[in-house]
A and B are shown apart, each in its own frame.
Chain A
Amino acid sequence: MSAPRNRQPFDIGRAAYLAVNGLMLFFLLVPIAIVLVFALNPTPYISFPPVGVSLRWFQKFFAGADFMNALTLSLWVAACVLVLSVLIGGACALALARGHLPGRAFLTAFFMSPLMLPAILTGLALFQAYLLAGIGRPVWGLIMAHTLVAVPYVIRTTLAVLHNFDRRIEEAAAVLGAGPVRVFFEVTLPLIRPGVFAGGVFAFIVSFDQFPVSLFLVVPKGETLPVVLFNYMKFDLDGAIAAASMVSILLALSVVLVLERLIGLKAYVKL
């Protein structure tokens, strides 16, 4: 390709590339490292430098009934959101890419619009809409709200896969005797699944992390983890918050890793 590296003079492009990547990693990882330091620091308030290493904040987090209820609710909601947005987003993307719909560009923009709107507005609007409709603030309402915000991610990743889809593969299946339903389940679905699931991962995380929308739609004693953490922080600023954050990060990371292992996301999805 190019000349041997040891003979290359100082390459400003390469230096810039390394610098930008280094900075990005720094800004991504250092805050997490700091949270970890706080989570392990036994002082009764968040302080720096740390004085030692202890698991007392993790203990407090896992022993707290409020925390555990919220964590369970958050995981449950996020799982429902994952399933719902995969089904809805996948179907939407297929319709948008394949449906020969009139005003397709408008429809795409419309389905993506929850991404454009500040989540706090979405939350407020849904809160008022639920109030007017008289349905209160049930858990399924919260799940619907999260799904609304999460669906665009699934649409986006599925459309990306569909965009690169060679339709001749479906035609080949049809010539070989597969009717439309079999073509869909034997060829289309297996080939778009990585894109749909990649969107599902985003959907899970969007829901699990969701604060502004949840803020309006949870009821006392039925709060999701981010809301509980926010309320907790208003009165106590101790290491339990940091420990809870670490647990959240690890949970989100393990969902991504498990799905990556199962379906090999990175091989398919270009965003």
Chain B
Amino acid sequence: MTKTFDGRVVAVDGVTLDIAAGEFFSLLGPSGCGKTTSLRMIAGFERPDSGRIHVGGRDITDVAVHKRDMGMVFQSYALFPHRTVAENVAFGLRMREIAKSEIERRVKAALAQVALTGLETRKPSQLSGGQQQRVALARALVVEPPVLLCDEPLGALDRKLRQQMQFELKELQRRLGVTLVFVTHDQEEALAMSDRIAVMNHGRVEQVGAPTEIYERPRTRFVADFIGEINILEEGGRARALRPEKIRLVADGARVSGTVETANFLGGSTLLRVRSGDGRSFLVRETHAGERASRRPGDVVGLAWSDSDAVLLEG
């Protein structure tokens, strides 16, 4: 599908995604890469200029938003500020003209599912960010949509809470078997939660794959660079990507030797910046399985890696 704004800015350019039922699928990329526009086209807020959108074999490209039967969680949560928690969650059921007793039962169950029992009569403004997040999730899930769209739903939470919600969301998704399309610019979040990730840049999909595949076998320089730390080695006009943890510090048989410039202690590992004799810069991750970091700035070290770990990049 393709989407152009104002006839000038190409937001999404020939993106083709094939998302499996029950999959946790992430759209990952920097801001302005077209991931949110893609999601909004799936939701029906934007119409693709070309291309079609199918869900479960049904073409929904021309179906109005309110008839698509999807769930969506927004970054700002977009709760109804004039309604209580229970009324927020009940909204989708009410729109589906479900019987009152049934609505009550399902709202109760949905709130229990996100651990919000007892807050039914609160207004959204009386809740913490994490609680609002859960209300938004319950409101989207209570209608049992086959597809749940999430637009950076955890972006507004602080780090600790975000990690907790990552686990909870993933667990919930697995339990309900819902197909989840998740937009994020946070690569750690995408790696931790997704079954598959589409890395996007400038309105195009650079690579689609499982998190390990994206991390270990990046296809393009952008993907290699966007996900985690990377060394790009230029050899005879070809570029290779080498993860810092694939480099060993050796006394003998070094491919390159250099001087440690900085050593950043990261807790579980230490990230070294090593300047080689010919002026190249290397990132090396020294993991602390046994003893603590031993290298200090100024130390001379030998670097070695195996050819199979230096991934050949396209272009």
When each residue 221-236 of chain B gets 1 if its CB lies under 8 Å from chain A and 0 otherwise, what string results? 0000000000000000
> For residue B96, which residues in chain A have a CB less than 8 angstroms away from its CB?
177
> For residue B82, which residues in chain A have a CB less than 8 angstroms away from its CB?
190-191
> For residue A179, which residues in chain B have a CB less than 8 angstroms away from its CB?
64, 66
Q: Check: A11 CB closer than 8 A to any chain B CB.
A: no
> For residue A269, which residues in chain B have a CB less than 8 angstroms away from its CB?
none
**Knowing A168-B76, A171-B45, A171-B74 touch, does A178 contact B66 (C-beta < 8 A)?**
yes
> For residue B74, which residues in chain A have a CB less than 8 angstroms away from its CB?
168, 171-172
A174 to chain B, nearest CB (A): 4
Closest to A182 in B: B95
**Knowing A168-B74, A182-B95 touch, does A174 contact B79 (C-beta < 8 A)?**
no
> For residue A169, which residues in chain B have a CB less than 8 angstroms away from its CB?
78-81
Closest to B136 in A: A172
The answer, among B66, B76, B136, for a CB contact under 8 Å with A174, is B66
Contact yes or no, B95 A175, CB < 8 A: no
Number of B residues, CB within 8 Å of A: 28
Main secondary structure of the interface of A (DSSP, over half): helix
Contact yes or no, B78 A171, CB < 8 A: yes
B25 to chain A, nearest CB (A): 18
CA gap between A10 and B155 in the complex, in Å: 45
The answer, among A166, A175, A190, for a CB contact under 8 Å with B66, is A175
Contact yes or no, A177 B143, CB < 8 A: yes
Q: Check: A187 CB closer than 8 A to any chain B CB.
A: yes
> For residue A171, which residues in chain B have a CB less than 8 angstroms away from its CB?
43, 45, 65, 72, 74, 78
Q: B4-47: which have CB < 8 Å to A?
A: 43-45
> For residue B218, which residues in chain A have a CB less than 8 angstroms away from its CB?
none
Q: Check: B69 CB closer than 8 A to any chain A CB.
A: yes
Contact yes or no, B76 A175, CB < 8 A: no
Q: Check: B71 CB closer than 8 A to any chain A CB.
A: yes
Contact yes or no, B65 A175, CB < 8 A: yes
Most buried by B among A169, A173, A177: A177
**Knowing A173-B91, A176-B92 touch, does A166 contact B69 (C-beta < 8 A)?**
no
